[in-house]
Chain A
Amino acid sequence: MALIVGAALLTGGVILYILLPVIQGRFASLERSEDELTESEAKKRVSLLALRDVEYDFATGKLDERDYKELKGEISREALAALREVEAESERRRGGAAAERAGGIEADIAAVREGLRTGTTCHSCGHMNADGSHFCANCGAQLPAATETPPG
């Protein structure tokens, strides 16, 4: 008996545990997180480390002065290019976020306009009510009849 109960608990528990996310609609993130290095940041880091290595290689006598200078120039150029790329990327990201914010406001305004047109947006408080509402769910004011012909 104990065995059957144990088996049932084990099976039930496992099924519940793995099915819950699908049933409840809980998500695992699939996006790159904010604080992760991007490809160009990684490149920047690698070239800065290479710059340090070159310095140590020179200081420990593994590089000739001529090679050291050449390599230093070469890696500095790579580091600079990576640095520019990082800046351009964060610029793009900032620009993108601003555009998104701007886009969001535009969409909000359009929704309010649409509500006013159909009569679901409350004239006294601005709350957007569900279609077919007669009174505002927020302040209780009477809404203009939805069937009313829109002005203009």
Chain B
Amino acid sequence: MTVLGELALWIALPVAIWGMVLAFVGGKHGRGDLVLSAERSVYAVFALLVTASAGIVAAFLGNRYEYLYVASYSNRALDTFYKASGLWAGQRGSLLFWVVLLAFFSSVAVFTNRNKNREFMPYVSGVLLTVITFFIIVLLFADVNPFEKLGFTPADGQGLNPQLQNYWMTIHPPTLYLGFTSFTVPFAFAMSALLSGRLDSRWIVVTRRWTLLSWFFLANGIIFGMRWAYQELGWGGYWFWDPVENASLLPLLTATAFLHSVMIQEKRGMLKVWNMALVTLTFSLTIFATFLTRSGLIDSVHSFAQNTKISFIFLGFLATIIGVSTVLIIHRYPQLKSETEIQSFVSRESAFLFNNLMLLAVAFAIMWGILLPLLSEGLTGEAIQVGAPFFNRVNLPIGMVLLALVGIGPVIAWRRASKRNLTKNFTIPLLVGITVVGIFAIRGSRHWMALTTFGISAFVMTVIVVEFFKGTRARARIEGEGIPRAFVHLVARNRRRWGGYIVHVGIVMIFTAFAGAAFNVKVIQTLSPGQSITLASPLGHDYTLTYEGMSSSRGRNMVWQAVALMSIDRDGRRVGSITTEKRLYETWPTPMTEVGIHSTPFEDVYVILANADDLIAGAYENDPAAQRATFEFQINPLVGWIWYGGLVLTFGALIAMWPSQGPLPEVRQTAARREAVPAAVGAD
């Protein structure tokens, strides 16, 4: 199976090149037979790459340690579940996994458009196959072939990093990769619009759902990664502003900008060049993120020197993407001019534009933070470290402006809005926001950044709730429907807008959670069994944690495992117990820590077993005298809202993406409507 997989990877290359060339030639000369052959090549490449991936998975499951990649990321004692996910455990496999997902999305795009959007399809297939070809070339010729053999067969593999042996880590990379790869489809349609010359907003309408899908995967992939970091890295945080995390955030930011700015093109025929630039930028950033995380460039200049080939290939490809898109945009510039202009500074359009600029500002700041250490190391030999203080100082204020825009945008009308209306619509939400800040301030809180964020969040939530309420009421009056029916129809008839608002609720929850971190409590304490510690929660109650003792068990693939048990009382009442562990894995030299988390809707109690006096005597021999241990206790308010916010965001994104049944019913100008509208307003 594995040999067949390797063969399939080699066959995939000429097939992809064949399809790529035929797609472009067929498109240019109007040759339907060549285009059909190219489209079949897309399916064939997908099947071949699936065979190649199956080969790798088979090698993992069959303990084939003669393969370098399998030997580096697996061992006999590893759980079958983690063996099967070995495909994306390391650089080589994950590059293959990347291109399989891309081929999958390419096949879906070609298949769903087999009877429509045919003008675009030759070039769409061409662009998709170009990207696929690029990745296959990397796999085969940049010293990252996952099928490379060692020349001998080791008795066992080196094993998987224990930190990666976690449920979240198993789904985090695939989700992120789904986001990265699916964005290739909107990019392919954009390039196809430029190549075919059909430059109306059709390509945007066709790729609307693709863009949402990609955004949805990116956002969830990042949230899964945060969840993994929180649970597994054992420092109580979820975001480290580490270059790899930052790189994955970049395309999410520009894709968010793109999702908003396409609405202006659809509705007003403006920002055509801007949208082309954003789609190219986002796609380039997905490649850049893959490159940074998978080339080893980021860790140090050493890994850069070890595999310069892959770095140069990637940089060359990035340069080509940006160069070709720029040339195409310039070539089509006369057809990309705006049909109208922004009528008023106070309008939804200008709010969207401002949101775009802010998102790009954040992206630029993060990009600068990624590149500065690399550039400085390249130029002066000494890396300037850019850490959390820089990112927080630059991005928090912009983030708050963006959050405020989430509330401001929906209330401003398209084209133009008047001051009187703004005052009318903003008064209540602003009052709610100020009240929230006031309550916190009176209760003695002086974390102004956090308070401002809470205030803005309350403002935005009020705006969204009022929007739903007013929208439903207006629909009930205009269409003469009952309130529940009007609510359902309101959302169903404009899923993108109302689904978007639900996504905004999720975003507000996540920002609130970020601000909650300002109130984190952290205490380090050494305890003997039976001793307790009392922590005051910022929510006003007390937690008493009692160290009950240490025991030992031995999980699969481990040399030893020491488990400390901690019981939790809240204001004198037992609410539960948690365990925190040290583990030594057979294939890893240093002991790993497993944290204990007691989650409630508003805060987490988080305990880390930092150090134990005598693990062997304490845990193994069960001698209470030797069980003294040092713990780090944390109370993390609102942290759970990131995960709840993620669920809300998922729900909203699904509503926005859900296919609508046929075209929207057209607005009929009946006499009843003409009377109903002024009546509805008069009632305000």
Contacts and interface: CB of A to CB of B under 8 A. Distances in A.
Given A18-B15, A18-B19, A63 B7 contact: no
A30 B30 contact: yes
Interface in B91-123: 114-119, 121-122
A39 B114 CA distance: 21
B202 interface: yes
Contacts of B412: 62
Name the interface size band of chain A: 35 or more
A58 B27 CA distance: 47
Nearest to A47: B267
Q: Could you say which of A21, A48, A51 has the most chain B C-beta atoms within 10 Å of its C-beta?
A: A21
Contacts of B625: none
A26 B122 CA distance: 15
Contacts of A60: 467, 470-471, 473-474
Contact of B421 (A33, A45, A54, A61): A61
A139 B433 CA distance: 92
A21 B36 contact: yes
A48 B32 contact: no
A74 to B, nearest CB: 8
A141 interface: no
Given A10-B11, A62-B421, A62-B425, A27 B33 contact: yes
Interface stretch (A64-72, A91-99, A103-111, A119-127): A64-72
Nearest to A49: B664
Contacts, number: 150
Contacts of B117: 36
A151 interface: no
B324 interface: no
A53 B413 CA distance: 9
A60 B471 CA distance: 6
Interface stretch (B40-48, B148-156, B240-248, B600-608): B40-48
Interface stretch (B377-385, B520-528, B676-684): B676-684
Contact of B44 (A18, A22, A32, A58): A18
A52 to B, nearest CB: 5
B7 A10 contact: yes
Nearest to B477: A59
A11 B27 CA distance: 26
A18 to B, nearest CB: 5
Interface in A9-28: 10-11, 14, 17-22, 25-28
A22 B33 contact: yes
A31 interface: yes
A30 B122 contact: yes
Nearest to B412: A62
A27 B666 contact: no
Contact of B115 (A19, A33, A63): A33
A48 B416 contact: no
Contacts of A20: 37, 40
A130 interface: no
A45 B663 CA distance: 9
A14 B415 contact: no
Contact of B200 (A39, A54, A61): A39
A6 B4 contact: yes
A11 B414 CA distance: 57
B32 A7 contact: no
A63 B34 CA distance: 54
Given A10-B7, A29-B118, A18 B474 contact: no
A48 B669 CA distance: 11
B684 A61 contact: yes
A74 B414 CA distance: 13
Given A31-B119, A51-B667, A53-B414, A61 B470 contact: yes
Contacts of B446: none
B372 to A, nearest CB: 43
Interface in B417-434: 417-418, 420-421, 424-425
A51 B478 CA distance: 14
B89 to A, nearest CB: 27
Nearest to B48: A14
Contacts of A71: 413, 415-416
Interface string B155-195: 00000000000000000000000000000000000000000
B118 A50 contact: no
Contacts of A31: 118-119
A81 B478 CA distance: 26
B8 interface: yes
B41 A48 contact: no
B416 A59 contact: no
Contacts of A33: 115-116, 118
Given A7-B4, A55-B677, A57-B413, A30 B420 contact: no
B18 interface: yes
A58 B680 CA distance: 9
Nearest to B474: A59
A21 B684 contact: no
18 contacts: A10-B51, A20-B37, A20-B40, A27-B35, A29-B32, A29-B118, A30-B121, A31-B118, A32-B119, A56-B474, A56-B478, A60-B470, A62-B417, A62-B421, A63-B413, A64-B421, A65-B681, A67-B413
Interface of B: 3-4, 7-8, 11, 15, 18-19, 26-27, 30, 32-37, 39-41, 43-44, 47-48, 51, 114-119, 121-122, 200-202, 205, 266-267, 411-418, 420-421, 424-425, 467, 470-471, 473-475, 477-478, 663-664, 666-667, 673, 677, 680-681, 684
Given A14-B11, A30-B27, 4 more contacts: A10-B8, A59-B478, A59-B681, A61-B681
